[in-house]
Chains A and B, each alone.
Chain A
């Protein structure tokens, strides 16, 4: 499997990345056994994620969804990354800020 470049975004930015590869941190809300799961992004936008196959196992609250944006509130997931159970809280506010800064700063990775 080759690496596909993707952008780390949040709910608000979904519409700007229509059809593109993205990575979104979401908090799963409610049922996670079906083909489509509901979740909320770090900026509190509700999104629906369609899965090619149901998530195996018991996902943690927060998961990283890698996939393609298929609508203003839709994601077609290629991969759902679950995190180890830990008592460390996910700092969603800071993550959201990171997304904002990364997507609003020109030459974010420029050095020197």
Chain B
């Protein structure tokens, strides 16, 4: 008997995430830090291993370096397997043709040999853009029980946001009769989550066909799924009820971080039954100093806090010096907020230095928006960075 895997996951992690501006200048969106110790990609990877799926291809393209290094051999997610495990799949040169990934479907097509190696019955397609906890095994069970060729995970969204999504129009049994990509006038509020399970052979057939079609933009949502539906393949929706958050914009990333806070958070990363695995920082416990005040916040290992931290998320090794204040903000690893500096309603990337007396951002009530500082920059003494501003270079004032 040939060795095989029942289900192989393919994770599309090539996204640039251009709406995250300075935060994705040098890294791909799935590598963006979230929730004090995680990165976005920890969520789909943890979901995979927690669902019993131990073979994951991660398709990277845009600024893959940091993401590749972060994933490494997959050990933090228990995905360092002798047969299976996590594999980075970058665009490559071949004798016949070499090309960048042209669309989501083309990216999967170019890695057909990877999937076929595991002789899978099913292929799970994921993206690395969302924060959520989902048991893919339940979805796979539904896919098997309905006898579908393709199952699309779907979630109810507010009507006014529906036109941002791929919308599924379904029959009462959950089968899909129409698929509309970002419709101006949506007929339903059931949105595709970009999570698909295909019966493997169907996927391979349709990817081959799509590749031959010169008019195709080689995209799942625009081309492959409609083609399957038109050909009368059995397509079902799988309803997901739970927290699912696109963190593709500055404000949604900020919001998602804040939703981790409080005694009963909107989204719980400390769920013992669904552990979120990640690469762990090598740091001692955080130290909270004599004059520090820390309220309604999440703080990671290695932080040294002497100032005030309120309603904020601080990643590992952040320093908040005496007299400094951090409020309503997300601070990523290794950033230093010096004496008397203030950070209000901001997102600050890794290894930033905010010099003494500087003020970053304005209070949320001021309505100016979230201030964003890109990685490894320095903000000069007593400098003011207005709310809503996005900086990716050192700033010493006007």
Q: Is chain B found bound to chain A in the same assembly?
A: no
Task: Please list the residues of chain A having a beta carbon within 8 angstroms of any beta carbon in chain B.
Answer: none
Task: Please list the residues of chain B having a beta carbon within 8 angstroms of any beta carbon in chain A.
Answer: none
